[in-house]
Structures are given as structure tokens and as C-alpha cells.
Structure 1
Amino acid sequence: MEKHLYGLIGEKLGHSLSPQIHERIIDHLGVKGHYDLYELERNQVCDAVKAFKLLGFKGINVTIPYKIDVIEHLDWISKEAETIGAVNTVHFKDNKVFGYNTDYYGFGMMLDAFGVSVEGKTVAVLGTGGSANSVICYFRDKGAKEIVLVSREKKDGCITYEELALCGSMDVVVNTTPVGMFPKVENSPVDKEILSKFKVAVDLIFNPMETLFLRHAREAGLKTVNGLYMLVGQAIKAQEIWNNTVIEDKVVEQIYQYILKEFSQKL
């Protein structure tokens, strides 16, 4: 049986859970494969994509800060990746290189799994990076009533955190910034007073499992969701693309529960 090669490229990958997640998916699919980590400098991205193609890789994932850089080295990108302006999944097929954004799908899987609906709701998105674009695109597609974009600095289409403090009640707030991520776990993008304006708080960070942002939200009585399910969901979608298959929802849940159990104490 042919061995399928997969990997993740990024700048700092020491705490990545991607190999463990993908190995579980590979086992479920019954294919012979291996998933590895590749830390790269920005000037190495182009040569790396060429090398993976020549070596016969099935696919790679791309994480910060290269989700935009990688686009110029692809032959084609999907509709959602084009809309978002970022690629996190690359597929090598028929001597060409295809790009997708599975963060979009992983985010949706996470909200569905935790019973968070955004249709007709007012939502706030903290941050303006590539991850924010995935969230914004999903909210638009799912019929959010109003999307409030929040940035540290005044930008077109955004309000500042100071202005957010003056807003009335809303429904869902999503942190797409790295604020509160390990090892700087003592920080939160907003305080408990601002969080009290919302009903649901979602943090794309999964390390730590409960950021200060989510702890403040929980203490203020909000429903809270961390980013671990999204990480599993986007990996599932990537493997579906690479292996031209569909993976059942129950498998997503099983792998999520496995990762949660095995690694929550380490995060």
C-alpha cells in the first residue's frame, strides 16, 4: 500500500496537536500515512512547496504566519479561500497545487457541535487577521444580522475596543487574536464588563483550554467555547479533500473527545 505523506508548515510548531489529530483520522480512514511538522522561515515557503510536490506529498496544512504567503505558489484556490484571502490546506494532485481554507469549515463544525447559532444574531469579532476573515465569511454566509469588527486601531469598517465598551448588548463574541495564548496566559483582549454584554464567548485559542478571556466570560455567566473542536474540524475537512472522502460527524466527535482526554492536562 502506498504511504501518504502529509505535514504542517509554520513558523513555531512546538505545541502543535496536528500530528496526533491527523494520525487518528488516518487510522480511521485505513490508509497508510504519516503527518509531520516543518518549521520554516518565510523565505523558505516557496522552495518548501516545490519540494513537497516533488517528494509526492498528498497534502500539507499551513499555519501562521504563512496562510497568505503560500497563495502565490499555488495553481488554484477555492472560492472560500479566495473570499477569505488565506489558505490553510494545500492539496498536491495531478502535478498541480490546490489551495483551500478549511478553518471556515472547522469553525462551523465547532459552532454546530456546541449549539451556537448566529442566524439573525449580532456578533462581534475581535481581531482583523486571517482567522478573523474565516469567521467573518462564515457569519455572513450563515445570516448573522450584524457583524461588528473590533480592532486595536481605528480602521475602515472597524470599531476600537474603547468603542466596543460603549456598545449595547450583543449575542456572540469571538476572539480571533493571539491574546491569552500560551505562554502569555495572563492577558485577555477584553475585560469582564465588556463580556457581560454577550451571551456566548468563543475563543479560537485552545492552549490553554480556558483562556483568561473564557474564564472572564464563564464567570460573567456566558456560554463558552474554546478552539479545540475547530482544530479537529479543520483537520477532518483537510483529510476529506486529500483523500476524496466524507467523514461522518460521529468520527469528528470521537476524535475530539480523544484529543480532549489525552491532551487537556498537558495544555
Structure 2
Amino acid sequence: MIKPFIEIIYLAMEDNAMLKLGLVGEKLSHSRSPEIHAKIMKQKGIEGVYELLEFPKDSFVEDFNALKESGFRGVNVTIPYKEAVLPLLDEISQQSKYIGAVNTVLFQNGKAKGFNTDYDGFISLLDHNKVAVKGKSAIVLGSGGSAKAVVKALLDLGIYDLTIVSRGKQNFHGNYTISYEFFKEAKIKSNLLINCTPVGMYPNEDASPVARQEIQADTVIDMIYNPEKTLLLKTAEELGLKAVNGSYMLLQQAAKAQEIWAENLPF
């Protein structure tokens, strides 16, 4: 059982105590974030700790607000709180306002400031895997916080045709959005199929957001990183398609978050 708050003994540095960081979410047993952030801090010579902070939905507001006074320098925010955290922040970066979701929070001078590093991480993932976007078509599965960052990145990179498939938010980006029922019937073809839902994530590794016959794309990207190969990606490889998981995005968004926490960044 992951304990939200673990007693930390601060290690003295020349000017400040060690950085106290964490990941806020509802269920975090699958997360690789502590391992990744520990490596980044070691490489940069930063003294710090990174905790998993499991907050239940019914106490999320109270638990998050308590972080401002608990000695944390910053936290990442993951499912299902990337949008729910917005009204709890004192300041939000312009990019995060446009995206409508925050995955990184800096606590500074008693205030909580929100950023979105998923955007940077996704663009890095595309570059790293040589996935072209400009003039292409894409289908995005999901309409949550991760999907919002992905959509903003795709639009900024010049995507030509974009379709968002959502179970609930039919007003997400207006006419771009279709229901899963329509998607299954339409058999839409695209250059990119991007899964931004948690379907297929550990421990539900036998699940896939779409059926085999519904994969009508050249490249399939699954933002999930645990397992490394989801059922969706395994099926894509069987079909001879390019298959990319979310590991590189996780690494790059974490590095960007570390920059925000380590520096005194103005808005």
C-alpha cells in the first residue's frame, strides 16, 4: 500500500533543503516516475526525493491544498487529476491554459503554479521516433488531460486532418470529436492512431481501446509505458505497422519538469 505522506528527513545543502517532489494520482502502483526522477536528479547532482502520492477522489482537493504547506517543491499530476487540479492553482502557464490541463506543479512562495510538460514530451517522442505529422491525418483516442496536450502538439506541428474519439466529452474541440460507436462503424483510415486512454495499462494488460479490425493506420502510438508493449501495440506489430509506446515521452516530460522545479521560472 502506497502511503501518501512518508516522513522525510531533510538533508542540508548550502542554501536549501533537498528537493521534495512527487507524483499525484489516484492509483500509482504501475508508475516508473520515482525511478526516472531519481536518475535525472543523480545526473544533475541534485539532492532530492520523489514520492508517490495517492489521493482518493473524495479528498483530492483537501490533499492537494495541503501540499502547499508540506515542504514540497513540486509535483507531477496524472490520471485522473490533470484537469481537476486547474481550479486549485494560483497561476497557470499560458500554454497550460490553452491545453486545458496541467501535469506539473511548482510550489513557490505559498502559491501553486501549473505547467504542462506532456506537450514537450510528446513532441520529443515524435522527433525521437521519426514520426512525421505535418500534412498527415491522426486519430486520437480519448479526451482527457494527456489527449489535450497531444492535440495541441499535433495542431502546432501542422496536422492536416484530426479526429478525436471520446466516450463522454462530445464538445471536446468541437467538430473534431466523434463517439466510439461512430468510430467503430466508420472504419476511418489515418496516418496516425494515438491512444491517450488508460485502456491496456497494467494490470489490465489484456485490454485494448480498439479491436484489431479497427486499426486503420500506418503508425500506432500508445501513451502507456507499462507494459512496454500493450495489446494495442502488439496487434499493430502483427499488422506490420510502426508501433511506439510512451516511455520516451515519460522521460522527456520528466526532464522538463525537473527544469521547472530546479529554476526560478517567471511566467
| TM-score interval, normalised by the smaller of the two chains | 0.7 to 0.9
Cα deviation for residue 144 of structure 1 reads 0.3
Q: Which runs of 5+ in 1 are unaligned?
A: 246-267
Query: Within 5 A, what are the aligned runs for 1:1-267?
Result: 1=13, 2-152=17-167, 155-156=170-171, 157=175, 158-165=177-184, 166-167=186-187, 169-195=189-215, 197-244=216-263
In structure 2, C-alpha distance between the alignment counterparts of 1:24 and 1:81, rounded to whole Å? 26
Cα displacement string for residues 29-77 of structure 1 (whole angstroms, at most 9, x for unaligned residues): 1111111111112343333334322233211111111222222221100
Structural RMSD (CA):
2.0
Cα deviation for residue 116 of structure 1 reads 0.8
Cα deviation for residue 152 of structure 1 reads 3.8
AA aligned opposite 2:152 = C
Cα deviation for residue 174 of structure 1 reads 0.1
Q: Secondary structure at the match of 2:217?
A: coil
AA aligned opposite 1:116 = V
Q: Secondary structure at the match of 2:198?
A: coil
Task: Give the corresponding residue for 1:257.
Answer: none
Cα deviation for residue 154 of structure 1 reads 8.9
Q: Secondary structure at the match of 2:146?
A: helix
Q: Are 1:161 and 1:190, in contact at CA under 8 Å, matched by a contact in 2?
A: no
In structure 1, C-alpha distance between the alignment counterparts of 2:26 and 2:77, rounded to whole Å? 10
TM-score normalised by structure 1 residue count = 0.85
In structure 1, C-alpha distance between the alignment counterparts of 2:115 and 2:138, rounded to whole Å? 25
Q: Are 2:166 and 2:179, in contact at CA under 8 Å, matched by a contact in 1?
A: yes
Cα deviation for residue 89 of structure 1 reads 0.7
Judged with a 3 Å threshold, the aligned counterparts in structure 2 of structure 1 residues 80 and 154 are, in CA distance, closer, same or farther, namely: closer
Q: Are 2:133 and 2:154, in contact at CA under 8 Å, matched by a contact in 1?
A: yes
Normalized per residue, the structure richer in helix is 1
In structure 1, C-alpha distance between the alignment counterparts of 2:108 and 2:153, rounded to whole Å? 27
In structure 1, C-alpha distance between the alignment counterparts of 2:25 and 2:187, rounded to whole Å? 37
Task: Give the corresponding residue for 2:10.
Answer: none
Judged with a 3 Å threshold, the aligned counterparts in structure 2 of structure 1 residues 62 and 154 are, in CA distance, closer, same or farther, namely: closer
Cα deviation for residue 153 of structure 1 reads 6.3
Q: Are 2:223 and 2:245, in contact at CA under 8 Å, matched by a contact in 1?
A: yes
Q: Which runs of 5+ in 2 are unaligned?
A: 1-12
In structure 1, C-alpha distance between the alignment counterparts of 2:67 and 2:168, rounded to whole Å? 39
Q: Which moved more, 1:125-134 or 1:163-172?
A: 163-172
Cα deviation for residue 162 of structure 1 reads 4.6
Cα deviation for residue 173 of structure 1 reads 0.6
Q: Secondary structure at the match of 1:6?
A: strand
Judged with a 3 Å threshold, the aligned counterparts in structure 2 of structure 1 residues 33 and 222 are, in CA distance, closer, same or farther, namely: same
AA aligned opposite 1:39 = E
Judged with a 3 Å threshold, the aligned counterparts in structure 2 of structure 1 residues 48 and 153 are, in CA distance, closer, same or farther, namely: closer
Cα displacement string for residues 175-208 of structure 1 (whole angstroms, at most 9, x for unaligned residues): 111221222222212222222x211000011121
Cα deviation for residue 238 of structure 1 reads 0.5
AA aligned opposite 1:235 = A
In structure 1, C-alpha distance between the alignment counterparts of 2:255 and 2:91, rounded to whole Å? 21
TM-score normalised by structure 2 residue count = 0.85
In structure 1, C-alpha distance between the alignment counterparts of 2:261 and 2:22, rounded to whole Å? 12
In structure 2, C-alpha distance between the alignment counterparts of 1:241 and 1:80, rounded to whole Å? 14
Cα displacement string for residues 120-176 of structure 1 (whole angstroms, at most 9, x for unaligned residues): 111110112221111111111111001111134693532234543534532111011
Judged with a 3 Å threshold, the aligned counterparts in structure 2 of structure 1 residues 169 and 68 are, in CA distance, closer, same or farther, namely: closer
Q: Secondary structure at the match of 2:114?
A: strand
Judged with a 3 Å threshold, the aligned counterparts in structure 2 of structure 1 residues 169 and 106 are, in CA distance, closer, same or farther, namely: same
Q: Which moved more, 1:48-57 or 1:153-162?
A: 153-162
Task: Give the corresponding residue for 2:3.
Answer: none
